[in-house]
Copies of this chain bind each other. A is one copy, B any other.
Amino acid sequence: MNTLPLYRQLANHYLDAIRSGTLKTGERFPSIRLMMEKHAVSLSTAVQVCRELEGQGVLEARPRSGNYIRQPEPLPHPLPPAPQDVDAYVGIHQQVSSVLKASQRATIKVNFANPYCAAQLYPLKTLQDHMVKALRQNPQLLGTTAPTSGNLELRNILARRALTSKTHLNAEKIVITNGATEALNLALRAVTQPGDTVAVESPTFHGLLQILESLNLRVREVPATADYGINLFALEQLLRDPEPIRALIVMPNLQNPLGSIMPDSHKARLVQLCAEHATVLIEDDTYGDLVDTEQPLSTLKYWDHSDNLIYCASLNKTLAPGMRLGWISAGRWHDRVEMLKHSQSRGCEALSQLAVSAFMKTPSYERYLRRLRKILTQQRQQMRTAILRHFPQDTCVTEPRGGTLLWVELPPGFSSMRLFHEGLKVGIQILPGDIFSNGSGFGHYLRIACGAPFTPKIEEAVATLGQLLKNQA
């Protein structure tokens, strides 16, 4: 504990007091002044303690009244009701499907739903050249089936790169997948049975809710916040429930949609909690490489010493969305995942893997990533400023440390689903908060992506959205 900063030691101290019942729900929390006196800490440390506890969801600030203890409830969200006529049921997750379908039918001029970077930000020419070279060098490539687990050289490169984020992956136990989407499908299919319960962060990205419903899994949602990600206290409560939680899916670095990054101490504790409760931890590291830092953050996998974790990641967002390259490192479930991959879609096409390997081997790859991160940081700032300028007063926007996603909280009363439909009519696509949860708590949130360079056209689209919102009022 001595290596923890002072504020976190104190926060843990109070967490214990709340957990053990010494401080009870609804009671007033010691004031900043009291803490400064009792613990001989500075004002800023005392404030940090409160923030930490707020982030954990156990403290609630009431204006002009102080902080109060809160018992954060895990949000119980049963499976959406099963349709009466199975044959007539179209969508996999009706709400998500209907939003996707509506988007497909519309003519989109400005797409704020797309989480990818603009095509010109990717090293397309280089990748193309590597592809052509790979074709020339392997004349039999298209005539032979690819191995189920994927190209071994690429798996070696991925394993070596993971070392920079202190993550040890065994190349032999990596399986290349059709994006992180297939990786998550395989992870879930490997460790769950239909009807099992799986926990996710709330909010979480809509694609995951689709996957869970399509695999007949029950979902429990655990609150997460933009600062620290998943609320560990709420998670612990949930894991103590009699209903077993078979698996938990977490995005520790740049959570989608929150953009949150879990502090190392949280990562360590999360891994430990899951191991204690025999809940398999599934890590989705899709956005990790986009964190704007020279020092890669640790993964959950780094903290896992009991082989209780399945690691999933993807190159789709960082390198080339036109190549469906994800991967999974499933530890003790590797053989099973490999066989599931074989039975679900066989090995992925080899060409993209060869081209990407050739590029990732060169120093250009890290240079390219550094540049991409800088560009995105600027785009996020510009987009954030535009939203705050044009959207209704008291709109809040996250300030993530990387990636392409902003999570926008409108003042209560506004409807992002209404904005979504009105936006489609004028060719502007956003994603409404409702599809990021099976519950109804995110009706006034929306996700806005800023993977494209900020232009007057984009500013105008943001202004149009702002106007549509003001018409709602």
Question: Residue A178 at the B interface, CB < 8 A?
Answer: yes
Question: Residue A346 at the B interface, CB < 8 A?
Answer: yes
Residues in B whose Cβ lies below 8 Å from that of A127: 142
Q: DSSP class of A's interface residues: helix, strand, loop or mixed?
A: helix
Residues in B whose Cβ lies below 8 Å from that of A125: 139
Interface residues of A in 94-145 (CB under 8 A from B): 97, 100-101, 114, 116, 118-120, 122, 124-125, 127-128, 131-132, 135-136, 139-145
- Say which residue of B114, B143, B333, B352 sits within 8 Å of A122 (CB atoms): B143
Interface residues of A in 327-365 (CB under 8 A from B): 332-333, 335-336, 339-340, 342-346, 348-352
Q: List 20 A-B contacts (CB under 8 A).
A: A87-B332, A87-B333, A90-B336, A91-B335, A92-B339, A116-B144, A120-B143, A124-B140, A127-B142, A144-B321, A178-B346, A179-B346, A181-B343, A181-B344, A182-B344, A185-B343, A185-B344, A194-B195, A194-B216, A324-B345
Lowest 6 A-B CB distances belong to which pairs?
A119-B143, A142-B322, A178-B345, A210-B343, A194-B194, A90-B335
Question: Residue A189 at the B interface, CB < 8 A?
Answer: yes
Q: Is the CB of A343 within 8 A of B142?
A: no
Q: Is the CB of B124 within 8 A of A343?
A: no
Question: Residue A146 at the B interface, CB < 8 A?
Answer: yes
Question: Residue A368 at the B interface, CB < 8 A?
Answer: no
A-side interface residues, number (CB < 8 Å): 69
Given A178-B345, A343-B210 in contact, is the A142-B116 Cβ separation under 8 Å? no
Residues in B whose Cβ lies below 8 Å from that of A350: 322
A338 CB to closest chain B CB (Å) equals 9
Residues in B whose Cβ lies below 8 Å from that of A185: 343-345
Q: Is the CB of A342 within 8 A of B100?
A: yes
Q: Is the CB of A141 within 8 A of B322?
A: yes
Residues in B whose Cβ lies below 8 Å from that of A345: 177-179, 181-182, 185, 324, 345
Instruction: Tell which of A119, A145, A185, A322 has the most Cβ of chain B within 10 Å.
Output: A322
Residues in B whose Cβ lies below 8 Å from that of A146: 322
Question: Residue A386 at the B interface, CB < 8 A?
Answer: no
Bound state CA distance, A124 and B350, in angstroms? 14
A177 CB to closest chain B CB (Å) equals 8
- Say which residue of B97, B322, B349 sits within 8 Å of A145 (CB atoms): B322
- Say which residue of B118, B195, B214, B349 sits within 8 Å of A324 (CB atoms): B349
Residues in B whose Cβ lies below 8 Å from that of A86: 193
Q: Apart from A116-B144, A144-B321, A145-B321, list 5 A-B contacts with CB within 8 A.
A: A120-B143, A124-B142, A210-B339, A214-B343, A323-B349
Residues in B whose Cβ lies below 8 Å from that of A352: 349
Q: Which residue of B lies closest to A139 (CB)?
A: B124
Question: Residue A158 at the B interface, CB < 8 A?
Answer: no
Q: Is the CB of B323 within 8 A of A142?
A: yes
Residues in B whose Cβ lies below 8 Å from that of A122: 142-143
Bound state CA distance, A178 and B343, in angstroms? 11
Residues in B whose Cβ lies below 8 Å from that of A101: 335
Q: Is the CB of A92 within 8 A of B340?
A: yes
Interface residues of A in 187-243 (CB under 8 A from B): 189, 191, 193-195, 207, 210-211, 214, 216
A335 CB to closest chain B CB (Å) equals 4
